[in-house]
Amino acid sequence: MNEVPLEEAEPARKAFGDLAEGEREVVREALVAIRRDPAVGREIPGWRPPSVEYTYTTPLARDSAEAITVVYTHTPGMGVTVVYYFRDPQVVD
């Protein structure tokens, strides 16, 4: 199975540069999951096909209340575009 192409919008590249190294590692792992299956994220209501906007939130550590959220769009046949990364100070289920 081919991997879904993934690109970063300029705001995502800037936000990545503001993350600490440990946070960047969490983002890299999230991107692997998103590339494997773009529907792994939570769909943001209101977007209509062919493009769908998603958020994918992952904890910074197993027992951490802080997380990193990746906002991205997916268009079948055209791949994934990462829109932004941000620190998410909430408990992740």
Domains of the chain: total? 1
Residue 1 has pLDDT above 50, yes or no: no
Angle at 51 between CA 2 and CA 38, to 5 degrees: 40
Residue 8 has pLDDT above 50, yes or no: yes
pTM equals 0.87
Q: What is the CATH number of the domain that holds 23?
A: 3.30.2310.20
1 part of a folded domain: no
Report H helices in the chain: 10-18, 21-36
Over residues 51-88, the pLDDT tens digits come to 999 999 999 877 778 899 999 999 988 899 999 999 88
Over residues 33-44, the pLDDT tens digits come to 999 999 999 999
| Distance of alpha carbon 44 from the chain centroid | 13
Angle at 19 between CA 29 and CA 3, to 5 degrees: 30
Domain range enclosing 38: 6-88
77 part of a folded domain: yes
93 part of a folded domain: no
pLDDT value of residue 40: 96
Angle at 28 between CA 47 and CA 46, to 5 degrees: 5
